[in-house]
Amino acid sequence: MIEPVFLEITFVVVLAVFVTIIMRLLKQPLIIGYILTGLIVSPIGLNIIQSENALPALAEIGVSILLFLVGIHLNPKVIKDMGKVSLIAGLGQIIFTSLVGFGLCYLLGFDLIVSIYVAIALTFSSTIVIMKLLSDKGELESLYGRITLGVLIIQDIVAMLMLIALSSSPGEGELGTYIIFAILKTIGLIVGIYLISKLLFPLITKTIAKSQEILLFFSIGWCLIVGSIFGFLGFSIEAGALLAGVALSVSPLRYEISSKLRPLRDFFILLFFVVLGSQMTFNNIATYTVPIIVLSLFVLIGNPIIVMILMGLLGYTKRNSLFTGLAMAQISEFSLIIIAIGSKFGHVSSDILSVVTLIGIITIAGSSYMMMYNNKLYNLLSPILNIFERRGKKVDEHKYLSHDKHHVLLFGYHRIGFDLAESFKKMKKKFLVIDNNPEIILDLAKQGIDCRYGDASNIELLNELNFKEAKMIASTIPDLETNLLLIKFIKEHNSKALIITVSNQVEEALELYKAGASYVIMPHMLGGKHTSLLIESHGLNEKKFLKERQFHLNHIQKRAQSSYYKKP
């Protein structure tokens, strides 16, 4: 006899596969697909979920593991490396967004408690969505990517405090009275768990690290035990899971634990968002149409403006300010969790849960497109963004030039660019490196190499560069759209220059050649071709391959000497 809950999970997972495929085709985060799946199986849809306790219990495990993994990456040592801009932009955005959000909610007719909850929900941005989009665009190491990561860490720390503080309140009427006491209890719990992580975990992890299975079960067990203790003491289980992760954030095994739990998290988190979607009610949603629209626009437009103002005051260019702001233009999985906890404790109604979830769907979808097309948005809005930029030298305008005329312009230094630069040195050609990673630029400046910070897709940057004197322009950026833009710009300003680009796809390489590229580097094909030539030349001669091995090893070691490649 098949249990009903088994059939429900089976149907939910299969349906989620089809919905998420559609989301992938639309270039939307999978979280939206999960929530839509919940709507389809909810009472207003197919009414599939009949098990009142089984799926919600699994969903709670999922969100606990999610927050546990978030906590693992909240290493206290990272705070020292975030810098002033992440700290000020992070705290400033939290303060201004929560205050303005509270004022909007109150003006829209929400009562005090609901306004507090919704304002807090509007404050946090989605780490999962932002990191995925930055990774897909290859911009995790860019300056705005690093600042965004720093802001997210600040938000996660504040969200952790908020999560514990809100969950400690026993009732709606006593929330304001208990908030200060809850924060003090939170600090005490953090200190206690941190001491355990420093004194006890080093002894335990030495033993369990020898077995991968034991390490996995220890991690899950620690997460669930701390979560259960927090639940027993009147806090939320989710808050305990988050702090359980923070306790392991200083462990050398944190990356291994994170990689092992990620697949498990993905399955359970699917169930969490499906259950969240299934709990949405639309009986009175028409009465909330105006708040949903107003608050969604506030997150999509207001959050970027707040971040741009703060970064502009700190002396950053309007481009990095805009890109960082656009990354903040959605609400977080934390937001949905906080509202879900408020609903569970009776602080807010199920209608408010539905309202915030809809705001989440709208802002996550909208911000995803804004981040994907941030360059086009910048080129469109650039003239009116000057109001967010301070006059004079900008802190992120890194230029290290001995002269302004170069034989070669090299876009992108990491990996392929390193070898090209070595060739230009041997040929005694004057070359300029343009890269969007500030660490690489600083490292090149120390070596006395002409370089400047910038992005090849930035039209304003291209207009500042001296293309007319260049004999060759090489782009090691494997992004088709960026390379096509660059080729078009070069053809308009210096049609005789040689153009070298990079591509990982055959179809894209053909398109680049059609656009006018002189040569397209295809790393995988070149690597295979080089190895096949070695085999043809050396046969199966061990001594010759050992000689090649030493040559290659010397080359790798030379690259490793760069401070950028050295491990911290």
Using alpha carbons only, give the angle 388, 390, 393 rounded to the nearest 5 degrees: 140
- Structure tokens of 131? 């990191």
Which residues are within 8 A (CB) of 221 and not within 5 positions of it... i.e. 6 or more apart? none
The pTM of the full predicted model, rounded to 2 decimals, is 0.72
DSSP-assigned letter for residue 120: H
Residue 281 is predicted with a pLDDT of 65
* pLDDT single digits (tens) 488-517: 999 999 988 999 999 988 889 999 999 999
Cα-based distances in Å from 478 to 372, 465, 473, 509: 16, 21, 15, 10
CA distance 113 to 95: 18
CA 80 to chain centre: 20
CA distance 283 to 156: 33
Helices of type H across 331-458:
333-344, 350-372, 374-381, 416-426, 438-446
Residue 295 is predicted with a pLDDT of 94
Residue 1 is predicted with a pLDDT of 61
CA distance 537 to 519: 26
Which residues are within 8 A (CB) of 227 and not within 5 positions of it... i.e. 6 or more apart? 64, 237, 238, 240, 241, 244
399 C-beta neighbours (distance < 10 Å), count: 14
Residue 172 is predicted with a pLDDT of 47
Residue 213, classified by CB atoms within 10 Å of its CB into exposed (0-12), middle (13-18) or buried (19+), is exposed
Q: Which helix (H) or strand (E) holds 499?
A: strand 498-502
Residue 500 is predicted with a pLDDT of 92
CA distance 134 to 335: 21
CA distance 292 to 286: 10
DSSP-assigned letter for residue 385: G
Please give the full DSSP string across 548-567, using - where no structure is assigned: HHHHHHHHHHHHHTSTTTS-
Q: What is the dihedral of CA 213, 217, 218, 220, to 10 degrees?
A: 140
CA distance 201 to 185: 23
Which residues are within 8 A (CB) of 340 and not within 5 positions of it... i.e. 6 or more apart? 276, 353
Task: Tell me which amino acid residue 192 is.
Answer: G
528 C-beta neighbours (distance < 10 Å), count: 11
Q: Which of 135, 198, 101 has its CA nearest to residue 372?
A: 135
- Structure tokens of 524? 């995988």
Q: Which of 214, 65, 70, 78 has its CA nearest to residue 205?
A: 214
CA distance 2 to 19: 25
Residues of the chain with pLDDT under 70: 1, 29, 49-54, 73-83, 132, 135-136, 140, 164-186, 205-206, 209-210, 233-236, 250, 276, 279-283, 396, 559-568
Q: Which of 27, 33, 35, 299 has its CA nearest to residue 136?
A: 27
Residue 340 is predicted with a pLDDT of 81
> What domains appear along the chain, each with residue ranges and CATH number?
4-388 (1.20.1530.20), 399-521 (3.40.50.720)
Task: Tell me which amino acid residue 203 is.
Answer: L
- Would strands 498-502 and 431-435 be described as parallel, antiparallel, or unpaired? unpaired
φ, ψ of residue 431 in degrees (nearest 5): -135, 155
Integer Rg of the chain from CA: 26
Which residues are within 8 A (CB) of 118 and not within 5 positions of it... i.e. 6 or more apart? 101, 105, 110, 295, 339, 352, 355, 356
Q: Which of 223, 97, 112 has its CA nearest to residue 175?
A: 112
Please give the full DSSP string across 42-74, using - where no structure is assigned: STTTT-----TTHHHHHHHHHHHHHHHHHHHT-
